[in-house]
Structure 1
Amino acid sequence: MSVRQAIWGEKQGAIEASLKEVDEDLFRYIRDFAYEEVLARPGLDLKTRELLAITALIALGSPKELATHLEGALRVGATEEEVRETILQSALFLGFPQALAAMKLFHKVLKGRDSAYPREG
């Protein structure tokens, strides 16, 4: 299974179409380099990489991409508790307003999903 398929799940086609629409070359860089080279490296498991991505996207203030990786973290094995703790940890270094916005987004993501993901780690 490709890293994109693991993270994006059933939304892979829609996400790829959206990225291609913006710019075909940028899509290829994201697909080939970001996902299939960097995220596929063996040094960290995909769950850890997704939790790190969540922190970085909170810092960058990128809510659309953050929502994608909040769902992706759950898809690759992070529990709701681990994602929640990642967001809470971000408050210390990135600020409470950013963490609050991320937690609100996480709640929206969870409401849009069924309870197929474990709550505790």
Structure 2
Amino acid sequence: MEITEKAQTKLKKFFGDSYDFELKKTDPELIEIFANFAFDDVLSDSELDEKDRVMVTLAALVAAQGQGEFKTMLKIALNIGLEPVKIKEVIYQSTAYVGMAKSYDFLKITNQIFKEEGVDLPLAGQSTTDRSTRFEKGLAVQKSIFGEIIDKMHENAPENQKHIQDYLSANCFGDYYTRSGLDLKERELITFAMLAALGGCESQLKGHINGNLSVGNDKAVLLAVLTQLVPYLGYPRTLNALSCLNEVIPESE
């Protein structure tokens, strides 16, 4: 087996002269299989904007804790001109979905590679809220995506659990979703990728499938995301996410 012409073209575009990486020398058969799958088959079957393709992969790799592949994809991101602020926003938002315990190492990795590539840190601030406005603005964004059900979630929460609903509005949406750097379509798309990669959170995944629909990411886009992620997540989590997608948006629709 050899790496196909299409895969080689993409690898050279993404990595330049450095695409002849170490594993190609030590594990040529596996790299041929993976390269042909990820950079030929998958790219042929998933129509995504190139920068969106890289962003959702970065998001999924944070959730999957794939530090090695994240470094590789981060270099691709910079080589294709994905803005550093967008890369940072992917990691910042991941903190709301995977926790600082998982996002911390990826932030450190990103800072190190940014420094190596001459990206000045810290980047320009993207926050649009403060402690006095985060709840109100977060709730507004939350309702713009999910509708009036958010009011019912606040109203129906047991008294000893209301603070969790407040956290969702003020922190998850007020601190993160209101930030500039990514628009709502991009934020919902990377959230879908992270939840698919995490596994075990099908209820939230279904909710964010509906959230994606409300901001303009249709089933074709979400299917393209899952197709892109197969080589990095494997089949069980991809198929679980696909099942959720088909349940929320049946093929007949």
TM-score, structure 1 as length reference: 0.80
* Aligned counterpart, 1:100: 239
Question: Tell me, what secondary structure is at the counterpart of 1:93?
Answer: helix
Determine which of 14, 38, 43 is the counterpart of 2:176: 38
Task: Report how many aligned residue pairs link the two structures.
Answer: 112
Flag the 1:106–1:14 CA change in 2: closer, same or farther, 3 A: farther
Structure 1 outlier segments of 4+, above 3 Å? 13-18
Match of 1:88 in 2: 227
What are the residue-to-residue correspondences of 1:1-121 with 2, within 5 Å?
Answer: 2-17=140-155, 20-21=157-158, 23-61=161-199, 62-111=201-250
Partner SS state of residue 23, structure 1: helix
Q: Distance in 2 between matches of 1:85 and 1:58?
A: 13
Q: Contact 2:230 / 2:238 at 8 angstroms: preserved in 1?
A: yes
Helix, strand or coil at the partner of 1:42: coil
Larger Rg: 2
> In structure 1, the residue corresponding to 2:249 is in which secondary structure?
helix
Does the CA contact (< 8 Å) of 2:153 and 2:165 recur in 1?
Answer: no
CA contact (8 A) 1:6 1:72 kept: no
Q: 2: distance between equivalents of 1:97 and 1:13?
A: 35
Query: In structure 1, what is the Cα distance between the partners aligned to 2:148 and 2:249?
Result: 16
Distance between the aligned counterparts of 1:14 and 1:85, measured in 2? 33
Amino acid at match of 2:150: Q
RMSD after superposition:
2.2
Aligned-pair CA distance for 1:84: 1.0
The secondary structure found in structure 1 opposite 2:179 is coil
Q: In 2, distance between residues paired with 1:71 and 1:85?
A: 16
State how far apart, in whole Å, the 1-side matches of 2:152 and 2:244 are.
20
Taking the aligned partners of 1:85 and 1:106, their CA distance within structure 2 comes to 12
Q: Measured at CA, do residues 75 and 106 of structure 1 come closer, stay the same or move farther in structure 2, by a change above 3 Å? A: same
- The one-letter amino acid of 1:60's match is L
Contact 2:223 2:242 in 1 (8 A): yes
Structure 2, unmatched stretches of 5+, are 1-136
Q: Deviations over 1:13-51 (max 9, x none)?
A: 344456x34722222111101112201111101111111
